[in-house]
Chain A
Amino acid sequence: MEKKIVVILEQRDGKIKKSSFETLTVAQHLALTLGMTVDAIVIGDRIENASEVFSFCNCQLIHFSHADLQLYSSSAYKKIVVEYASQQECEIVLLSNTSLGKDLAPRVAVGLKAGLVSDCISLEQKENQLLAIRPVYAGKALQEVTLNSEVKVYSLRPNVFKAVQLGTKAIEKNSSVAVLDPDLSNRVKEVIRSEGKLDVLEADIIVSGGRGVKGPEHFNLIESLAEQLGAAVGASRAVVDAGWRPHEDQVGQTGKTVSPSLYIACGISGAIQHLAGMSSSKYIVAINKDKDAPIFTVADYGIAGDLFEILPVLTEEIKKLKS
């Protein structure tokens, strides 16, 4: 029997998330390199886009279904994954390091007596070993690690690995398993959504404001630009600590570490904690009055001027471009 990779997919509202397709791409690549097969598992009540899985990976998809498992339950999800992976004698478990993945991965690792590397930004076979690279000290340094355990679990940072479609879609191999009597001792009862708000962790573009915005009443400048770009609004720690913005918007070492395609920093000087949290963004734009501000050391493009004068013009120009 060929050795197995198990990929844990994540669904929200019945749709498999983009970060899961990134994980499938990594699984596909590893399976080819190591001569392994891939089983993808998804847990939930109903799945609408199951067919998409086969565009990214030649695998079999197993849907564990139960009406009470549409929302996350750490106890039930762990048990399902651990039982399945042990029964299949799987060697590698992959999942995305989302808020669900972060919670689930260590539990699964303990259940499988496996080692875990969390938040990988690279995972490659080197000299007969899987070498994982992960950021430490909020990205100020990188750590290279290997696992000594027989079963190995890796959680992958979202937005870093690109989801790549196969040349030809793989044959759909679907099966469904009805979960009997799931262990719901630890379960999500309800999800409270921040209405109409895009999260900085999931956004492709982020427009962030810092102390240079001068007060919560001026954040409309940031919000208008974000709206034109379909971007999320982020904030520096200074403005979160001042109470101008909620803490879930905070980007940086004690906030969120983000890697969008485009990060626009407005009135942010670039404290080392902030740079750590956003410098892996693909493109960075800085708008700041002080041309010597550290933010310009990581920016691809900068305007060293007054954001109150620049932002309305930028918003207008983007609007023109989009129309």
Chain B
Amino acid sequence: MKIAVCVSHVPDTATRVKIASDQKSIDPSGVSFILNPYDEYAVEEALKTKEKFGGEVVALSVGSDKVKETIRKSLAMGVDEAIHLKTDEALDSFAVAQALADEIKLLGSELVFMGKQSVDYDNGIIGQIVAELLGFNSISVCVTFQLEGDKVTAEREIEGGKEVVETSLPCVITAQKGLNEPRYASLKGIMTAKKKVIQEKPVGSKSALVENIQLRMPTPKNPGRILGTDSSAVPELVKLLHEEAKVI
């Protein structure tokens, strides 16, 4: 069984975002990039599944040559093989999903993991689109995952609780924080990852469904008032919340 795991290369969550001069992207200077935090849970779950049932884990990533750095991180965690779907264009979610789906089909993989969203564009839609394009089942925002034969059971986080979802392979699972504790890359893993060949395949151009008009900064908030330094400020706070803000 080939287990596919899709990873994305994103700015560290501590990044202070600045808009680039094209007004359509962020200025990458001084920004450190990481393996998307939710994809770490996806990689871990793919590895755990392989350890339990055998097979191999193949990482896929769409983007420019820079994503190789992130692919290496997944290899260092223990992923067996990696494919870089190369493009220098800023593709929309549908084009990214199409590239992933085409490659997953070639791999013949029936189980796909990825993070529930990447922390750059925060769309959270690629997993479901990939599944629909392939005609796979899918469960998004999973905090547990179980596989028995071809039966898949997972709990997905919803408002105020969890849903227990049942479906079957072939299936795409998108990972939420809490699914597992991602392993750290071992020194041996890092050394092995350096030697592994990342297969490179070009992604064809595709007309965009979603047009990115511009990125801009949100309007900054007016600085608020510090009402005091101890509980003597509480009555004023309560009065303001009740009479000025009218929220209590």
Contact = CB atoms under 8 A, between A and B. Distances in A.
A193 B161 contact: yes
B178 A247 contact: yes
Given A191-B162, A303-B228, A303-B229, A139 B218 contact: yes
Interface in A249-292: 250, 253-255, 261-262, 271-273, 279-280, 282-286, 291
B1 interface: no
Contacts of A197: 160
Contacts of B211: 145-148
A272 B14 contact: yes
A261 B246 CA distance: 9
B127 to A, nearest CB: 8
Contact of A310 (B92, B168, B234): B234
Contacts, number: 258
Chain A at the B interface: SS class = mixed
Contact of B237 (A100, A119, A253, A301): A301
B225 A302 contact: yes
Contacts of A313: 231, 234
B17 A140 contact: yes
Interface residues of B, number: 80
Interface in B63-92: 92
Given A72-B163, A297-B223, A261 B229 contact: no
A187 B166 contact: yes
Contacts of B138: 74, 186
Contact of A317 (B26, B132, B160, B234): B234
B140 to A, nearest CB: 5
Interface string A290-317: 0100001111111111100110011001
A286 B228 CA distance: 11
Contacts of B163: 71-72, 188, 190-192
Contacts of B226: 291, 296, 302-304
Given A141-B19, A301-B237, A306 B230 contact: yes
Given A75-B137, A102-B124, A116-B125, A142 B217 contact: yes
B197 interface: no
B176 to A, nearest CB: 8
B133 interface: yes
B58 interface: no
Contact of A250 (B132, B165, B177, B235): B177
B11 interface: yes
Given A118-B125, A283-B245, A309 B159 contact: no
Interface string A94-134: 00001110110111011100111111000000000001001
Output the residue of A75, A109, A205 with the most chain B CB within 10 A: A109
B37 interface: yes
A45 interface: no
A190 B156 CA distance: 11
A248 interface: yes
Interface in A196-224: 197-199, 201-202, 205
A284 B214 contact: no
A313 B221 CA distance: 28
A301 B128 contact: no
Contact of B240 (A145, A273, A301): A301
A186 B238 CA distance: 48
Contacts of A191: 158, 161-164
A317 B166 contact: no
A283 B244 CA distance: 11
B13 A254 contact: yes
A197 B162 CA distance: 12
Interface string A63-100: 00000000110110010000000000000000000111
15 contacts: A74-B139, A114-B209, A116-B93, A118-B125, A131-B213, A137-B119, A140-B16, A141-B216, A142-B218, A148-B207, A192-B163, A229-B248, A303-B233, A304-B229, A309-B231
Interface of B: 11, 13-17, 19, 26, 37-38, 92-94, 119-126, 128-129, 131-133, 137-141, 155-168, 177-178, 207-218, 221, 223-231, 233-235, 237-238, 240-242, 245, 247-248
